[in-house]
Structure 1
Amino acid sequence: MRTWELRARLLLPRPRPEVFAFFADARNLEALTPAFLRFRIVTPQPIEMKPGARIDYRLRVHGFPLRWTTEITAWEPPHRFVDDQLRGPYRLWVHEHTFEEAAGGGTFVNDRVRYRPPFGRFANWLVVERDVRSIFGYRTRALLERFGGREEDVEPVRIGVVAD
């Protein structure tokens, strides 16, 4: 089965502990998600982020209501964490977040998402890849607005096939 991988990277002019702390608070997911998805967390807050923590969401994709559950499978503050979809629209969704101190100051935020869309490559070609790019574009703009930063410190989102 075909698996796609998204990679995104941006530099934020803030120290790694501050940037990681923002990501460690699940409530901030709503600020990083476009309003048209009507995303909301339904797990009672606050959520203690650690391996095994589960977060339930509700959202709408192209008007269809969805439930999504992720589990934190790796938690290594302030360096990285991984969330895996347990329930949701994808056959596979594994999102690795890493945070690197930049030599000149600031923090590189790296995203690596491996996913398998429902209905395979046709759905990916028709709508999924475009949607994922749009969502990560929004997320990048929200992070730049929140932490400062410059568009020229953002690497373009790359998506490609990594396995068949």
Structure 2
Amino acid sequence: MLKFEYSSLINAPVDIVWNFHERKDILKLLTPPWQPVQIVRREGGLKVGAITEFRIFLGLIPVTWIARHIACEPYQLFTDQQIQGPMESWIHRHQFSSQNGQTRLTDYITYELPGGLLAELLLGWWVNSRLQDMFHYRHLVTKQECEKLANYQYN
């Protein structure tokens, strides 16, 4: 099993960062423009049972990726799990914690690649580098949008 973690500090309170993630257009905002991904649907917000469906392109081959939210503690965390997709398994926890009026946003992912240990040894570094790029983008957008909103609300 492979692991990935990305964390950043956002100069906005947790409620602003959490509410940002509840936006209906959040997936469009947080999907890097260079990624070959189509957002098919998002139902249920952040609650347990919520569904997100993507179509990702592996070269010219479209692959459906469906994730279901399996945990949600408002203003603390939500977790999604792949129920259909390219990975053997995938669990992604989004955690929000307050630090002196700011928010520590941390994404934790555990996943398994199809093909077992050999695939993980050969491709794990590449998948983690793609995740690094994606979450750098996501956290940058989140930071910019939430700090702008916090400045507007509190100034």
TM-score range, shorter-chain basis?
A: 0.7 to 0.9
**C-alpha deviation, 1:123, in angstroms:** 2.2
Q: Are the structure 2 counterparts of residues 35 and 107 from structure 1 closer, same or farther at C-alpha, using a change threshold of 3 Å?
A: same
1:118 aligns with 2:114: yes
For 1:92-113, what per-residue CA distance to the aligned partner results, in whole angstroms no more than 9, with x for missing partners? 110001101112x211101110
Work out whether residues 68 and 85 of structure 1, in 8 Å CA contact, stay in contact via their aligned partners in 2.
yes
Distance 2:47 2:146 in 1: 24
Partner in structure 2 of residue 128 of structure 1: 127
TM-score, normalised on structure 1? Answer: 0.78
Letter in 1 for 2:94: H
Runs of 4+ in structure 1 displaced over 6 angstroms? Answer: none
Distance 1:83 1:27 in 2: 18
Q: Secondary structure at the match of 1:134?
A: helix
**1:84 is matched with which residue: 67, 81, 84?**
81
Work out whether residues 81 and 91 of structure 2, in 8 Å CA contact, stay in contact via their aligned partners in 1.
yes
Partner in structure 2 of residue 23 of structure 1: 21
Q: Are the structure 2 counterparts of residues 40 and 25 from structure 1 closer, same or farther at C-alpha, using a change threshold of 3 Å?
A: farther
Partner in structure 1 of residue 152 of structure 2: none
Partner in structure 2 of residue 55 of structure 1: 52
Distance 1:32 1:102 in 2: 23
**Residue segments in structure 2 that go unaligned for 5+ positions in a row:** 149-155
Q: Which has the higher contact order (CA 8 A, sep 6+)?
A: 1
Q: RMSD across aligned C-alpha pairs, in angstroms?
A: 2.0
| Paired-residue identity, % | 26
